Amino acid sequence: MNGGRVVKPAAGQPGAPQSPGQSLAILGGTKVRTSPFPTWPVFGVEEEQRLLQALRSGKWGKLNRLPGIHPQKRPADCTRHSYHLFLLRIAAQAFGAPREAILRALQAEGIPICGGYALPLYRQPLFLNKAFGPYLPRAVARLDYGAVSCTNCKRICAEQGAWLEQSLFLGSQSDMDDIARAFEKVHENRGVLKQL
């Protein structure tokens, strides 16, 4: 910021757009994605098979190769996965800006992404207050979520986590490419992210 104005780096300087028309949408550039993603379906067998096929196909695999983006790995011994969300970590240092600026820039590019839980599950009132209703009657007395501290979980919730809903992966290869292009564009323009 310079006197309340956003100052864009000059061509050739770090963070400058790579080519004309590539400035971030949040700064007045053109969005990567202007059409909506597929809507959440009534989840029948056909939709489930499409989703599983898309996620297993690696159509989203470009995200694995982007700097500062770390999709959740599926261990080799994992035999089932809900695919409820596509979870990833964003390494803010690779973008030179906090996660919130990166998420805002991606959202402005037309990618519906969020930071996930603001608090780790074990810090949610349901767990801290042991509000399990009639469930776990024998375990409640020995549960103490107030004593739990998971450093990595806290870091992911506060600084690194990002979620893409599974419905985004029900579309075409072009839909997957738009997601990757938006991440690439935000990374290429990372020099202006601190100003957001």
Domains of the chain: 48-72+84-191 (3.90.1150.10)
Helix axes 99-108, 173-188, angle to 10 degrees: 130
- Degrees (nearest 5) of the Cα angle 54, 56, 159? 90
pLDDT tens, position by position, for the chain (196 residues)? Answer: 444 444 444 554 544 444 544 789 988 888 998 888 776 555 567 766 766 666 666 556 677 788 899 888 777 887 777 777 888 999 999 999 999 999 999 999 999 999 999 999 999 999 999 998 888 888 888 999 999 999 999 999 999 999 998 778 777 778 888 988 999 999 999 999 988 7
Given this model, what pLDDT does residue 60 score?
62
pTM of this prediction?
0.75
Given this model, what pLDDT does residue 78 score?
78
Got the DSSP string for 38-70?
Answer: PPPPP--HHHHHHHHHHHHHTTTGGGGGSTTEE
Residues 92, 138: Cα–Cα separation, whole Å: 43
Within 10 angstroms of residue 140's Cβ, the number of other Cβ atoms is 11
Sign of CA dihedral 154, 157, 159, 160: positive
26 token code pair: 């949040």
